[in-house]
């Protein structure tokens, strides 16, 4: 009698573990399948209030973490969870010892490396992620470096097979025999027990059909609810000054002695991009010349007037369309010289730098572009070029080029902006202007840490003085 009780208790515990594992596997699958780049993530900050991931905030961070580590092979984690849950549910022993655990881990790593070699980058809703993740990229590049592409694929296929055998204790011969027996039993060629096998298979197919219908109905209701929420909540697009720029690549049959400027001018006449105004800083004037505070603690306290700060002495800004076209064509030409094909799709002009969105051709490695920072800087006359490997929500890389004629961004412009005046926090800091000329302010109370770093002469002292001045203008003596 006690042995029967212990057996029932063990079965009950095994079924609980099986259900929890299956629920976890389905949840992770929904998180990965509904991943969207505008949702909150570890490596980006989102200002979108509606989370599209079916798992909510937890699902968004879970999918982002798995995609960062394993890439698209994160679905293998889902497969392992579902397999473990099903085996526990049907009563089959699925104990994972140390050897099997290491084998499953190696299987996941080798699959990630293999996917990295075949698909280095994968686009999800316009957002580029690594095909094999961090682990797959690291291991895959090591194999390719020492064995080249074909040798790495061959060795990794063997490593995947061996790790699968060690993890599941299923050899290729066993798999072939099992498949043959299964087909033979289903086709009715088995002499003994063919009728019983056919009836059992029919019952199992009916059960699977009902389960599939139930899962489809649940997913359909979840997707309908998600679509209704997306139609009700309006998501405001980010304001940015973008110059749409689509230019065809220079013909290979062009005259070698024709200058780059002549090629740019001839193409600009045919396909001129639409130029949009930049989001320049504008002084907001008021009669008192003082900031409007949300709350003033001291009775009779008068905040310092903005007239203490110098007015910006700069002429009216005009965007040089011809120079922007020449620069974009020059970047495309230089990248093509290094076997990096692609096109500039958009231009963001700013007061200090201009960012060019470069969409690489299919199959181009991202590190091919990032490794060309020094070469592009040399080609542009020593200007410090910076390459942004990932632009949130876009299948492109950003190339930031300093302007030849930089504009002065004054502290008075930032403090007179609506972003600074309407900020409710008393610890609001005026930091400067963004790449497209918009005021940038930050709330010090939301920063767990603040690090001011940079090379000599980069403006660290000016930044600290601006922060102190922001607090003096925003806060009362209390």
Q: Which domains does the chain show, CATH number per domain? A: 2-232 (no CATH), 243-280+317-402 (3.30.980.40), 408-474 (no CATH)
Sign of CA dihedral 329, 335, 338, 339: negative
Residue-level pLDDT at 143: 92
Residue-level pLDDT at 315: 62
Residue-level pLDDT at 362: 85
Verdict on whether the full-model pTM lies above 0.75: no
Alpha helices in 119-193 (DSSP H): 133-168, 172-187
Nearest in space to 376 (alpha carbons), one of 321, 338, 414, 324:
338
By the 8 A CB rule, do 171 and 165 touch? yes
Residue-wise pLDDT tens digits, 176-225: 776 666 666 555 544 444 455 556 566 666 766 666 666 666 566 655 55
By the 8 A CB rule, do 70 and 129 touch? no
Q: At what angle do helices 2-33 and 74-89 cross, to 10 degrees?
A: 150
> In 10 A of CB 201, how many CB atoms?
13
Residue-level pLDDT at 123: 74
Nearest in space to 458 (alpha carbons), one of 402, 396, 412, 375:
402
Residue-level pLDDT at 155: 93
Query: In this structure, are strands 386-388 and 397-402 parallel, antiparallel, or unpaired?
Result: antiparallel
Within 8 A by CB and 6+ apart from 298, the residues are 476, 477, 478
> In 10 A of CB 254, how many CB atoms?
11
Q: Is residue 88 exposed (0-12), middle (13-18) or buried (19+ Cβ within 10 Å)? A: buried
Q: At what angle do helices 133-168 and 98-118 cross, to 10 degrees?
A: 130
Residue-level pLDDT at 126: 64
Residue-level pLDDT at 43: 67
Reported as half-sphere exposure (CB side, CA atoms, 13 A), residue 442 has a value of 14
Residue-level pLDDT at 215: 67
- Which residues of the chain register pLDDT less than 50? 1, 189-194, 226-261, 263-270, 272-276, 285-288, 293-296
Tell me the β-bridge partners of 402. Answer: 353
């Amino acid at each position: 009698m006690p042995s029967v009780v212990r057996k029932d208790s063990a079965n009950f515990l095994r079924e609980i573990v099986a259900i929890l594992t299956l629920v976890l596997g389905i949840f992770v699958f929904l998180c990965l399948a509904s991943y969207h780049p505008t949702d909150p993530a570890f490596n980006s900050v989102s200002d979108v209030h509606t989370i599209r991931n079916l798992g909510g905030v937890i699902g968004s961070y879970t999918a982002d973490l798995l995609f960062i580590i394993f890439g698209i092979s994160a679905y293998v984690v889902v497969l392992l969870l579902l397999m473990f849950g099903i085996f526990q549910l049907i009563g089959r022993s699925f104990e994972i010892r140390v050897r099997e655990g290491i084998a499953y881990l190696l299987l996941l790593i080798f699959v990630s490396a293999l996917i990295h070699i075949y698909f280095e980058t994968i686009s999800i809703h316009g957002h580029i992620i690594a095909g094999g993740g961090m682990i797959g990229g690291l291991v895959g590049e090591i194999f390719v470096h020492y064995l080249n592409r074909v040798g790495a694929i061959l060795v990794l296929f063997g490593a995947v097979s061996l790790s699968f055998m060690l993890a599941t204790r299923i050899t290729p011969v066993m798999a072939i025999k099992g498949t043959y027996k299964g087909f033979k039993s289903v086709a009715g060629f088995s002499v003994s027990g063919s009728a019983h096998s056919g009836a059992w298979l029919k019952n199992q197919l009916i059960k699977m059909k009902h389960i599939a219908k139930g899962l489809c109905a649940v997913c359909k209701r979840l997707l309908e609810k998600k679509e209704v929420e997306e139609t009700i909540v309006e998501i405001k697009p980010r304001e940015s000054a973008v110059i749409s720029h689509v230019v065809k690549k220079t013909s290979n049959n062009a005259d070698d002695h024709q200058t780059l400027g002549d090629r740019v001018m001839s193409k600009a006449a045919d396909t001129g991009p639409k130029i949009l105004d930049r989001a320049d800083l504008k002084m907001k004037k008021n009669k008192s010349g003082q900031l409007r505070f949300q709350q003033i603690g001291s009775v009779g306290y008068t905040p310092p007037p903005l007239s203490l700060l110098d007015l910006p002495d700069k002429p009216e800004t005009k965007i040089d369309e011809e120079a922007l076209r020449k620069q974009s064509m020059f970047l495309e030409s230089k990248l093509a010289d290094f076997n990096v094909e692609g096109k500039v799709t958009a231009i963001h002009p700013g007061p200090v730098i201009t960012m060019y969105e470069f969409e690489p051709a299919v199959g181009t490695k991202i590190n091919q572009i990032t490794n060309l920072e020094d070469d592009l800087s040399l080609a542009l006359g020593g200007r410090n070029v910076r390459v942004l490997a990932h632009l949130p929500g876009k299948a492109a890389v950003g190339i930031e080029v300093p302007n030849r004629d930089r504009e002065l961004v004054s502290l008075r412009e930032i403090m007179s902006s609506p972003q600074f005046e309407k900020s409710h926090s008393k610890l609001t800091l005026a930091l400067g202007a963004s790449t497209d000329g918009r005021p940038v302010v930050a709330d010090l109370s939301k920063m767990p840490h603040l690090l001011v770093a940079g090379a000599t002469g980069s403006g660290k002292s000016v930044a600290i003085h601006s922060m102190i001045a922001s607090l003096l203008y925003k806060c009362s003596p209390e």
